[in-house]
Structure formats: structure tokens, C-alpha cells
Structure 1
Amino acid sequence: MNYREILDQLRSHVANVFHAKNDVRLIYHNLSHTEQVVENAVKIANHYQLSDEDFFIVTAASWFHDLGYFFDCQQHEASGAGLATEFLKEKDVSPEVIDKVNNCILATKMPQSPEGLLEQIVCDADLYHLGSNSFKERNKLMRKEAEAFCDRALDKDEWRLKTIALFKSHHYHTAYCQNLLNAKKAENLAELEHKAVVAQQETALVAVAAEPAESVDLKKDKKKKSDRPERGIETMFRITSTNHQRLSDMADNKAHIMISTNSIILSVILSILLRKLEDNPHLIIPTLILLVICVVTMVFSILATRPSIPEGVFTPEDINNKKVNLLFFGNFYRMSLPDYEGGMIKMMEDRDFLYGSLIKDLYSQGVVLGRKYRLLRIAYNVFMFGIVISVVAFILASFLVTL
């Protein structure tokens, strides 16, 4: 049986259903989500090198697993299995294969209960995003879809607690996904739990406030914080730090070029040219000029890459006054782990301290970059003009000898 051809027809059929029904409430369980699940299933299936028939089963189940939302939201798995059965029968697919496709679809019902590798692959592909970088975005879409179906706004904190419960009850079934996704899934869960704790603390502060005005001020402060573009700020810091690192790497490469080039020239001068100065005294001055130029260029190039390390210690007063940047190793490498850990915890709990440290880190990187490129500019200028002067000196020396 030509499974590839059936899959092509199946893909077009599912896409046509999504476009024809076009339920605007399906913000998460839409064609884009289905295509991502199929992509995940293909990735996992390729890892396990499934046969053509098994590959067809997991791919077909992935295409149909959420199609039932258009017909029965409460029992969409069973509805999707029925739609798959109807389509596959028309394509003369064997009943055994159809049963396996249906079982894979039904296994995605929460709580998931897959039996066998094929069902495990489809289940892991369906919740693949829990252990990926796209979790935050996908979770927001899921909440918007839930709000659209229940026609009311859902409390963000309650939704977060439900998501945490989902994380704790869920586990990946295939060894491939466990190795690939568990670490990131744990990071996502830790971030959710941290936000939940912060939200509880802020709620407690509002509840404890004695005066109504104070309560209003706390709510305003909370709203002000939530209105800040957290992701945009973090992206700005990340991109700027990355750009600084690239510029630093470029500076080091430029310095390495200067050091290597002048090392070769010095080797030639010391090993060959100096021996011939007795027979060619007219070349002494040009040779000395070239020698000095190479040495000066190398000195400035080395200075550009020469590391400068601070004392590596900080005091409790520095932490309390928010004067130390704990993001730079030079400020803590001589401190004990408990002291550094305590300082980091205080920094992470204080928004102003944290962002202040990031600002200091970027500024320090910029100062270092400015020093590197200033020294490199001197090295390149010395080398450029010096080479010209040396060549002119050699030409004049040779010309004067011939006179």
C-alpha cells in the first residue's frame, strides 16, 4: 500500500476541514498546532526508525488527534478517531491499521495512558511543547482559547496553578523525549512555581494592608510592574550582551592577526636579516625601524588582549548597598560559595538590584571593549604607517648605495 500517497491526501483533507470550519475560538487547537504535533511525531518516529506502516500510523493519528474539536469539544478524541476511521476506510486501509490509528488518538486523552511505542510517540508529540522554549507562548494561547470557550476571563494565577498541576501529573513516555525534554520541562515548571510564589506574596501584602489607600497603592504598584515589558527588557539585555561578546571576539581575532604577523616578521629579521647587516651596513637603520615597529605593534596587540582581574571579593555592605556586580566573575572568584549564593539570592529577589547588576555588566563590557579597540587602533596605525616607513627606508638605503 502506498502510505506516502495516502498521507498526502490525508494532509490536504485535514487542512480543508480546518479551513472550512474555521472556528475562531480555536486559538490553540488549530491547524498550526496540528502541524507542530505532526512535526514532533515525525521527529520522534525517525529516531526510532519505524517501519513504513508504523510511521503512517503515528503520522495519521497526529493529523486527526484534534480534528474532533469541530464536532464534540468534550469528547474530541473519540470524534477524531471516528473521522479518521471514515477517511481511512475510503482509502482501503486495513482494519488493523485503522484500529492502531484510533488507539493512538484515544491515548492522547488526559490523563494520557498510552500502550506501546506508537501510542507513546503520539502522546509525547502532543505535549512536546511542555519541554520546549515555546511553552510560554503556547500556554498563553491555551488560556485564551479556554476563555473563548467559557466566554469569560480566567484568573491568571488560577490558570498558573492548574498548569503546574498538569506539569506534575505529566511525564514523557518515550526515552527519546525524556532525554531531550525533561531538563527544559523542569526549567519551565520551576519558573511557573516561582511566579506562583511571587503572586501569593503580593496577594498577601495587599490583604494585610490596613489602610484602603495603601491597598490601592499596592495594587497600582503590582499593575505597574506587570505593565512593564519584562520580555522586551530581557531580550534587550541578552542581545546587547551577545553583541558585546561578538565584538570582543572580533577584537581578540584582530589582535591575534597582528601578533602572528609581527611574530613572523620578527623571526625573519632575527634569523636572517641581522646576520647580513655586517655585509650590508646600509640596511641597519631600515632594519632597526622595522624591528621597532614590529615590537611596538606586538606590545599594543598583547595589551589589547591582556586580561585585567579585580580582587574577586565583596562585602555584605556591598550587597546591602547594591554596589557589587555578581554577574562578573572578577567580583566573586575569591569568595566562598555560601557568601556568593546568599548575594545572588538577594539580587534575584530585588528587581532593582538585578537590573542594576545587568546594567553594570553591560557598562563594564563596553569599557573593556573601548580599551581593546583603542589599543588595537594604535597597533594597526603603528603597523600600517610603520610598514610604509620601513619600505621607504629600505628603498632609500638601497638607492643611496648604488649612487
Structure 2
Amino acid sequence: MNDQQLLELVEEYVKRFFQTHHDDRLVYHNFKHTEQVVKHATAIANHYQLNDHDFFILLAAAWFHDTGYFITLEDHETAGANLAESFLKEQNLPEEDIVLVKSAIFSTRMPQNPSTLLEKILCDADLYHLGTDAFEEKNKLMRKEFNDIHHLDNNKLQWNKHSVEFLKSHQYHTDYCQLLLNQGKQKNLEELEARVEKWQKEEDEKIASEQKKSQEESKKLQEKQILPEVKDSDKPKKKKERPERGVETMFRISSTNHQRLSDMADNKAHILITVNSIILSAIISLLLRRLSEYENLIIPTAIILIVSLLAMIFAILATRPSLPPGTFTRNDIDEKKVNLLFFGNFYRMPLDEYAYGMSRMMEDRDFLYGSLTRDLYSQGIVLGKKYRLLRVAYNIFMFGLIVAVLAFIIAAAFFGEK
């Protein structure tokens, strides 16, 4: 079976797949998008005059690249690549060609980082619309799809701010698309920035108007002496009106103070470790070798060695870091149990899961303030443990040093050479 015949089988298979799989939320990543990607990939491939075999590899990857959305939304590239592998193995395609198809599909994962010409062509075909007049329409579909999938409510201002950042960071990988589409992409970026600036201004004016209206109403109530009369009965309502700026200042100052105290503790521990290291080095290098001559100093020397070693151990324990597992589940996010403000709770999670959690937290004020509260509490717990160990280390060093000096004096005075 030649490459052209096999490509026709791929096309028929993917068409049937989209006909038998449907998700109302996928208003952008649907069969229409796949057809357009294949169309653009064909045009770019013709420009580079690919041979028939490379042409097949590229278009097979283009047909399969978004089929994974109907299998899983978590890692659709892997799902699509596995689906392609399964079908192509049935067609007895050589393993090395299957690897090339899968690699091209994986290259479309954001952020894109293609390494071969075929991967660069597919990546550019996938985001071809960024430099065309169809950008605005497709951007609206992307927003609707994203909100439906993640159960969010990003308004047009929030979404288009993200779109501006994406356009700024994106670059086409082939010379063909750079020459053909960069100018159109820059035009779309400038128009989108202008709209975002306009919407931001309107929103700021709306907020300012509402604040002014609220202040005027409050002033009228005060003039009519209504506020003093309902002050006590109005307290339950005021619980809902939190002093946002004051709360944020409180969290910021508390976090800064905790960080300052933590730095002070680390510096104190570092001083203690350094001093005792010098003491241990001096005793081991100078005194131990002479104990056979001064047997009366064995006990005082042992005391100061033990004291320095214990002080160092507790000082090290005070500064030794500990890490949580670094994972969380979506159930933790939905139940607001996880604190995403501390890296130890997410450093092993994929970016998509962390972004989902942060989006949910930023949309929910109670979740956000709860996370800030847990973060402050956790910092306090760590500080308490650190200072407790540090206090033990200093007590051992202080009282142990006193005992050791007294032991040296007694040994020298009563048991020294006469």
C-alpha cells in the first residue's frame, strides 16, 4: 500500500471518529478545525516541496492531532498520539514512521517547541489563524470552550488580556508562515490591545462610578442621621463588607514579618554552627592529640565536644528544610483544602492542574483569603518549630559552655601537674 492510499484510509478513519464522538463543549477543537489544519499543513508542505513520504507523515499527524480531546481533556496530545499509533500499526506502518507521526503530534503541546521541519509545519498550521482575519471569531470560540470545560466565567476583558500575552509570546516556526502571517498577527495584536485598553477603561469608569454613587448614598444617610440609628442592627450586614485593602495590607505585613523572623532565625543558626565548627576543629586538631600528656583534661574536653556537637545538631535541625508530597487533587481544589500559595503543595503537579487551581482560587474570594490564612498559619508553625529548636541549641551552648569552663578550671586547679 503506497503513502497516498494509506493517507486516504487515515482521513476516512478520522472522519468516522469525529462522527461517532461528540462533545458540545468543544466548539473550537472539532472536525472543522482539524480540516483547516490539514489544509494549511498541505499548503505549507507544498511550499517546501516535501516528498510523498514526509507529506504522508505530516498529514497523518495533522488528522490525528486533536482526536485526543474526545478521549481525555487532561493530556489530549498523548491520547491522540496513542490513537494514531494503534491505527497505523493495524496498517503495518513501520515503527520508525509511527514514531515520527507521534512526535509531530506531541510538538503541538503548549508551549510549542518543534525540532524538525515536519513538526514546525504542523505547529504553524495548528495556529495559522493567529495571523488571519479569522482570529477574532476563533478567539471567541476558544474562550467559550475554555470556560465550558473548566467551569469558569472568564469575561471578555480577562480572556483577551490572556490572548494579548499569548500573541506576544507566540512565534511562527517556518520562514513561510513568518513572511505570510507575521504582519497579520501584529495587526490582530494591535487591534486586540486597543479593545482591551478600551474595555479596561470602561470597567475602571464603572467601578469609579459605583464607588462615587455609594459614597454619595452614604453621605445622604449620614446627613439624615439614619446611620447612627441602624448602626447596631446593621452589624450583621457589614460582616459581608470586608475592608479589602486593609485585609490585603494585613496579610502582606504579616507575611513580611514572618519572612524577616525566619531570616533572623537562619542567621542565628548559622552563627551557632560556625562558632561550634571552629571550636570542634580547634579541639580535634590541637587538644585531642595532647590528652595523653594531660589526662586531667579528658573530662572537660569530652564535655565541650559533646556540648558543641549537640548545639550544632539542634542548629542544623532548626534550618533543615522539609517538603510535603507536592501533589493535590481536583477534589482538594473543589473543597478548598489545598494552599496553592506554598510551592511545597504543587511542585510535582503539571502546569494545567496548577493553573486550574489558581483560576478557581482567584475567582473565589473565600478560597483566596482561606489560602492566605493557611499560608500565614503554616509559616507560623514552621517559625515556632525553628525558634524552639534554636532556643534548645543556644541553651545547650550557653549552659554547656559554662559547665565546660568550670570543668577546665577544676581540672587545672585540683588535678593539674604539681
Q: If the length of structure 1 is used for normalisation, what is the TM-score?
A: 0.52
The DSSP-based 3-state class of the residue aligned with 2:24 is coil
**What's the counterpart of residue 90 of structure 1?**
90
Name the CA distance, whole Å, in 2 between partners of 1:193 and 1:127: 19
Name the CA distance, whole Å, in 1 between partners of 2:31 and 2:85: 20
| 1:122 partner letter | L
> Which deviations, in whole Å up to 9, do the C-alpha atoms of 1:197-220 show, x marking residues without a partner?
1112112212222125999xxxxx
Alignment of 1:134-173 (within 5 A): 134-173=134-173
> Which deviations, in whole Å up to 9, do the C-alpha atoms of 1:76-127 show, x marking residues without a partner?
0111110111111111111111111111000000000100101000000000
**What's the counterpart of residue 199 of structure 1?**
199
Alignment of 1:2-401 (within 5 A): 2-209=2-209, 210-212=212-214
Name the CA distance, whole Å, in 1 between partners of 2:142 and 2:134: 12
Offset at 1:58? 0.8
The DSSP-based 3-state class of the residue aligned with 2:182 is helix
Distance 1:91 1:213, change over 3 A: farther
| 1:73 partner letter | L
Name the CA distance, whole Å, in 1 between partners of 2:144 and 2:201: 26
Offset at 1:144? 1.2
Name the CA distance, whole Å, in 2 between partners of 1:102 and 1:185: 28
Name the CA distance, whole Å, in 2 between partners of 1:213 and 1:17: 60
Name the CA distance, whole Å, in 2 between partners of 1:78 and 1:66: 10
Name the CA distance, whole Å, in 2 between partners of 1:125 and 1:137: 17
Name the CA distance, whole Å, in 1 between partners of 2:20 and 2:158: 34
> Which deviations, in whole Å up to 9, do the C-alpha atoms of 1:53-93 show, x marking residues without a partner?
10001100000100000111121011111011111111111
Name the CA distance, whole Å, in 1 between partners of 2:18 and 2:36: 15
Structure 2 unmatched ranges of 5 or more: 218-418
| 1:95 partner letter | E
Structure 1 unmatched ranges of 5 or more: 216-403
More moved, 123-132 vs 14-23: 14-23
> Which deviations, in whole Å up to 9, do the C-alpha atoms of 1:223-244 show, x marking residues without a partner?
xxxxxxxxxxxxxxxxxxxxxx
Name the CA distance, whole Å, in 1 between partners of 2:36 and 2:215: 49
| 1:186 partner letter | Q
The DSSP-based 3-state class of the residue aligned with 1:172 is coil
Distance 1:116 1:86, change over 3 A: same
Percent same amino acid at aligned positions?
48
The DSSP-based 3-state class of the residue aligned with 1:74 is coil
| 1:21 partner letter | H
> Which deviations, in whole Å up to 9, do the C-alpha atoms of 1:150-197 show, x marking residues without a partner?
234321111001111111111000000000000000000001111111
Q: If the length of structure 2 is used for normalisation, what is the TM-score?
A: 0.50
Offset at 1:19? 1.1
The DSSP-based 3-state class of the residue aligned with 2:167 is helix
CA RMSD of aligned residues (A): 1.6
Name the CA distance, whole Å, in 2 between partners of 1:155 and 1:204: 15
| 2:157 partner letter | D
- State the number of aligned residues: 215
| 1:3 partner letter | D
Name the CA distance, whole Å, in 1 between partners of 2:4 and 2:80: 21
Name the CA distance, whole Å, in 2 between partners of 1:19 and 1:206: 46
The DSSP-based 3-state class of the residue aligned with 1:25 is coil
Name the CA distance, whole Å, in 1 between partners of 2:73 and 2:216: 45
| 2:123 partner letter | C
| 2:118 partner letter | L
| 1:142 partner letter | M
**What's the counterpart of residue 262 of structure 2?**
none
**What's the counterpart of residue 387 of structure 1?**
none
Distance 1:213 1:43, change over 3 A: farther
Name the CA distance, whole Å, in 1 between partners of 2:175 and 2:54: 18
Name the CA distance, whole Å, in 1 between partners of 2:167 and 2:4: 35
| 1:36 partner letter | Q
Name the CA distance, whole Å, in 1 between partners of 2:162 and 2:152: 17
Offset at 1:24? 1.3
| 1:48 partner letter | Y
